[in-house]
Structures are given as structure tokens and as C-alpha cells.
Structure 1
Amino acid sequence: MSYLKNAWYLAAWDYEVRDKPLGRVIAERPIVIFRQSNGELCAIGDRCPHRFAPLHMGKVVDDVIECPYHGLRFGADGQCVHNPHGNGKIARAARVPEYSVRERHRGVWVWLGDKDQADTSLIPDYSIMDDTQGTGVVQDYMRAEANYQLLTDNILDLTHADYVHAGSLGNGSMTKTLPKVWEEGEAVFAHWWIVGEKAIPALARQLPDPEAPADQWLEVKWNAPGNMSLRVGATPAGRPREEGIDSTSFHIMTPETATTTHYFFANARQFRVDDPAIDQVLKEIIANQFLGEDKPILEAQQKMMGTTDLFSLKPVSLPQDVAAVRVRRKLEAMCAEENQ
């Protein structure tokens, strides 16, 4: 499978990389991430070139990482800096790949391609995560046995909520509403606006009158390769947005392999931001919805498809597929251009 190389991939939430190295496979590349004594992040290949042991099982010694098998040590540039055996001579081939890594918006981002092109400004702007007050940010990580583009499709086509999440996120209103889809630069947008209907259950319970008509918005923005923000809110029908509830969630799909995905989720809400009790409730709701509802159908979908490309199977098209198809075609073109 072809992956975009010159792009930022979310590799971990910041809290996942503390005192111990973290190993994570991204786009089929084993990578180890660790912190030096000053807190600076490093990301290098995770496979020791000697006997291919995973470096993340080792430890950080004097700001370099020591292989747990035979004690070779590797610096932030991937070069072996210490050989405890024999006369200590270091073989020229004793090195692993080096990756650019940045810490932004409570996440650890890794660039797989040319380091000279690793422009930090290309990391999606999720600064709302930094700006949200109190305990208003919830983060989680989950793994799925499905291709990352299937998980991306899942967010770009929210009509699935009426069926997969009936009773929690869906009440039938999404299916009869077509999204407005457009591009700005390399980003793709898909917006649903639902006017004068009962709010979906997850929003209705936060409104003054859950049974009254409401105006709702569900707004997705996609950035390559699988980074999406989803702004969701509702207000009593005819009232300004500011009088309702509003929150932004982040659904970031980082490919592990052709059939597995790292799913990073976060939510930054603009209501009850100083209520830690709702943090736990939201986290449980989100985990239950994905683990108990999305994950089974997506993994079953992957098994039905195998490793066959989606378009080669000639899928039947429905009106709500516009955003997902546009993103797939755009990503395909970006990969093709990179490989010229």
C-alpha cells in the first residue's frame, strides 16, 4: 500500500511519552519515540540493525536509547554511539532512520518523509485544544483492525450515525440531510446543517427543552493523511449559535499497516468546562460508541474487503459518499505526485 510520506502523522498523545520509550508502527515503519533529560522528543527507527530487537523495550541512558538485547546505543540522529562489545568499534551500518518529531496541541507528530520539508506550520491547527479552559479536553487512543481510510470514510459520512449509533448520535435526521462539500487548498470540508428538527440525543439532553425543535451543525474538516476535526452543536430553533452548546472533536486516523489503524480521539467542549465529572462520562460514551458500535462494523467491513482496494471493488455510490470519495481521490493524487 502507498502512504503519503511528506506529511505529519500523529504518533501519540503527549501523555503517552513520559519516562519510558514508546514504540509505534506508523505506515508500516517501526518507530521509537523517547524524551531526553531536557524533555526534548526524539523519534528514530525502532528496529536495532544488529539482531532486530525492538529498541522501545530498552531504556534511555544519557539521552540516547539502549537496545535491550546487546546494549548498543543509538542517538537522536539514529547513529549508533556506543558498542559495549570487543574493542567498541562501531560499524558504519549501525544506524537506524531518523524522523522529525514535534509536540503540538497535546500530541506528538512525526514526519516520515524528507526532513528538509518538515514544515511545522503544516501540522493541522488544533489550537482549540490548547485554548480550552478547565478540564474541557478529553483525549483517548484506540486501535482498530481496519484500514485508516475506512475509518476516515466513517467520519466523512455521518449518516451512519442513524444506524450504527441509533438512540445516541442518530435519530434519522442525518440520512435525509445532504452535506455541503468543498475544498480549500489541501483541506476538504463536509458540513451538515439541520434546521428546525429535534436534536440528536447526545445534543438534546444538553438543551433547555430536549423535545423542542433545534438547529444543529455538524462540520468536518479533513487534512491529509487522516486528520479530521468535527464541530458539533445545537441551539433552540431560530436562536444564535452562541445561545446553544458547541464542542469540537478530533478524529485522527494514523495508519499502522494496510489493515490496522491508530485512532486518536479528543474533544474540546465549550460548555461545562470546569466539570470533571462530565469528562469521565464523555470518555466512556466515546469509548463505548467506538469500541461497541463503530469498531465491530469497520473491522467486519475490512474482513469482507480483504486487502483489495475499495474502488477496484466498484462500490455502489450513494449521495452522502461525496466527501469520502473526494478525500480518497485527493489522497491518491497526492501520493502519486510524491512518487513521480
Structure 2
Amino acid sequence: MDQAIGSTKPDSPDMAAAPAVERGRFIKNAWYVGLWASELPAGTLVPQTILSEPVVFFRKQDGTPAAILDRCAHRFVPLSMGTLVPGDRVQCPYHGLEFGADGRCMNNPHPPGTIPTAAHLPSFHVVEKYSMIWIWMGDKPADPSLIPDYSCLETSPAIHITDPGYLSIKANYELIANNLLDLSHVVYVHGGILGSPGLEQSDIKLETHGDVVTVSRFVKDVETPGMFQMMAPEGYERGDSFTSISWYAPSNLLLKTGSCKTGQPQESGTGYWGIHLLTPETERTTHYRYSAVRWNVMTQGDEKNEQIRQKIGELRTFAFADQDAPIIEAQQRRIVASTTKLEPALLAIDAGPVRCRRILDRLLLEDR
């Protein structure tokens, strides 16, 4: 299904009024990024709150990741404060109960050593893929083939991949996804870095394939945004600019963006893949992990490419942390403070976020 957003009428079915984000819109039977793989060294216990549930991650002796509820069934102490002991067990720091990677209590050190049924804990299905630790919080079968394709993180030279980034955003994950799907805001929020004059005049296209929503934009013969001038050789100061971002329900996104000479095929230009991984922490906070991978690299020399790699990481972190986050967090505060139900005024540029919300509504019903 394709749709030019510029032609969407405010009263079309896809643009029906969508209320502001409300409480409890978590899909449990879905893949979320729990950690970057590098955030989970062997021998450590790493706590994370995901979908308002405390989780502790660790690696088993064979190196594979595991995750169980981070709350001892006895006195509710965080197991992440404890230690890993032989046998792939987590020992509670309070009374020494030991829990296996499947969440079962394996040892009660106190005579007579009886283990009550209530002592067992939930465990979560986890997979290490694309340099990430993925977690499935629900009780339906977890299918790793449903994990979005971020293989560019594994197939590209390390010198063209930015360091894994992390931000804690004090806002609901849907607000952040809406921001990422809104290609029009870069002119106003990220001018000089990702945006340049003329981009706001471009048509925006909406496509849906199953539960994947893609928003794209193409604009001809404009000043090349600063990020891409840095990545290209001389002669690319002006040209065609293009961006597409795909949303994979419920909260992972992949962006492809770049510039090329006016009238030339997009693949003749250069740009990067943007990895955006949103994991709901609570109803009002989100774990935001991100990285970028360059494609069709034109610049020569390891020293120069390393400088560009670091600069891309710095600029993207600045764009997210210093430009996007303050606006989104202020938006969240205004929503929370409202004493009346909020119904946003919708523009044609909102068709992407509205389409995603309709899919989320359906998936929430199926999840429950």
C-alpha cells in the first residue's frame, strides 16, 4: 500500500483523530533490544527495566545470554545485586537462594533446603544477534526470524560503524517513534546537520508492507546537509537529498539517508544507515540505543574515515540528546500535566505515525 502523504486529507480514515499516548500500551509478545552485546561482559549481572518489569541479564558459562526476573521470590531483593555462581546460577545477596537461567530456584541453603513452588521466577527468551541482546517478554513462542534485519552492523567494516550509543529519554516510546517517523522536523530541529533549506518543500511518501511502515522523502537540487557534505568528496555541496525510515512494530526503526548529484541514481551517492532501537522502560521513560553504518563510502584513507566515523557519532548524539530529547521530554510533560483528554490536530505529515498507531492498536488487542 503506497500513499503520498502530501495528498492525505485530514478527514481520511488513516488520519482519524489519534489521542495522545496513554498508559499501558506495551506489546509483550515482540522483540525488544535489552542491551548492546558489548554492555554484557561475561561474569556480570546487568539490570534493566523493560515494559515496567525488572530484568537481570547475564551470560552463561558457554557465553550465551540469559535473562530472568530481577526480583527474588523470597524478600523481593534485586538479584542483580548478587553474584553469578557455578552452574549458570544467580545467587541472591540477601539469603543466598540460587536461580538458574530458566528462573527456577535451584538451591535453598537453609535447612531443610526445601524449595517452595512459589520460589521459582519467570525467565525470558533472549537471542544475541546483530551485536545486540534481544528479549521477548511475552509467553507466546518467540520467533527469532521476526527480528528486523540490522545485518549492516555485522557485514560492514568497523571503521564505517559508529560506536553503540545509549540515551535514557524521559518520554513514552511512541512519542520518540513519532519523532523519528516525522521527516519534516529535521529542517526546524536539526538545521545545518541533517536539514537544509528546501527540504520542507519535499513530498513525503508512505508505504505499508504487513506491519512494516516506511516513510520516505526525496527532494531535488538542494544544498547538501552538513552531515553528508562531510561524508562526500568535492562536488557534492549541492544535489538530491533522500531519506526513508522503516518502523518495525512495536518500536525498532531503520533509516537510510544520503545525497547524490542532481539527477543521478541515489545509489551513486553516499550516506548512512541509521539504527534506532526503542525499548520501553516504563510508561514515561525509554531506553534509546542507536548507531550508524555508512554506505557507498567515497572518502579515502583510514585516518580520514576514522575522523568521519567519530564525527558522525558525535553529531547524531548531539541531534538526539540536545535537540530531539528536550522537545520530546517537554511534550511528555505537557501531556501528563493536561487535565483534559488531548486530541492532537493532525497534519498531512502525520500520516506515518497515525498508520503506526493503528497497527499498534491491532497488535495490542492480539497480544492481550
State yes or no: 1:297 paired with 2:366: no
Q: Please name the residue that 1:267 is paired with.
A: 292
Greater relative contact order (Cα < 8 A, sep 6+) = 2
**Deviation string, structure 1 residues 107-128 (Cα, Å, up to 9, x no partner):** 110001125x201100001111
Query: 1:11 is matched by which residue type in structure 2?
Result: G
Runs of 4+ in 1 over 6 A off after TM superposition: 307-310
Pairing partner for 1:278 from 308, 311, 322:
308
Partner of 2:363 in structure 1?
Answer: 334
Cα deviation for residue 129 of structure 1 reads: 1.0
Match of 2:3 in 1: none
| Code of the aligned partner of 2:217 | W
1:307 Cα deviation after fit: 7.8
Contact 1:4 1:338 in 2 (8 A): yes
Distance in 2, Cα, partners of 1:286 & 1:155: 13
Residue aligned with 1:4, SS: coil
In the alignment, structure 1 residue 198 sits paired with structure 2 residue 249: no
Between the aligned partners of 1:210 and 1:163, the Cα distance in structure 2 is: 26
CA RMSD of aligned residues (A): 1.9
The correspondence for 2:40, drawn from 2, 9, 17, is: 17
Matched to 1:150, the amino acid is: L
Q: What is the aligned partner in structure 1 of residue 214 from structure 2? A: 189
- Looking at structure 2, the residues matched to 308 and 118 of structure 1 have their Cα atoms a distance apart, in angstroms, of 38
Superposed, 1:1-340 pairs within 5 Å as 1-19=24-42, 20-62=44-86, 63-115=88-140, 117-138=141-162, 139-209=164-234, 212-270=237-295, 271=297, 274=302, 275-306=305-336, 312-339=341-368
Q: Distance in 2 between matches of 1:308 and 1:188?
A: 30
1:240 CA drift (Å): 2.7
Any conservation in 1 of the 2:231–2:308 contact (CA below 8 Å)? no
Residues 207 and 236 in structure 1, CA contact (< 8 A), matched pair in contact too: no
Secondary structure, in 3 states, of the residue corresponding to 2:361? helix
For structure 1, which segment, 196-205 or 180-189, has the greater mean C-alpha deviation from structure 2 after superposition? Answer: 196-205
Residue type at the aligned position of 1:278: I
Runs of 5+ consecutive residues of structure 1 not aligned to the other structure: none
Question: How far, CA to CA, are the matches of 2:130 and 2:239 in structure 1?
Answer: 32
Contact 2:236 2:261 in 1 (8 A): no
TM-score (norm 1): 0.94
Equivalence for 2:16? none
Between the two proteins, what is the percent identity of the paired residues? 37
How many residues were matched structurally? Answer: 337
The DSSP-based 3-state class of the residue aligned with 1:196 is strand
Change (3 A) 1:335 1:44: same
- Distance (Å, rounded) in 1 between the aligned partners of 2:90 and 2:106: 10
Is the CA contact (8 Å cut-off) linking 1:207 and 1:235 kept in structure 2? no
TM-score (norm. length: structure 2): 0.87
Superposition deviation, residue 246 in structure 1 = 2.3
Native 8 Å contact 1:7 1:225 kept in 2: yes
Q: Give the deviation of 1:282 after TM superposition.
A: 2.0
Q: Does the C-alpha gap of structure 1 residues 140 and 148 become closer, same or farther in structure 2, counting only changes over 3 Å?
A: same
Contact 1:99-1:112 at 8 Å conserved across structures? yes
Shift of 1:215: 1.1
In the TM superposition, residue 56 of structure 1 has moved relative to its aligned partner by 1.4
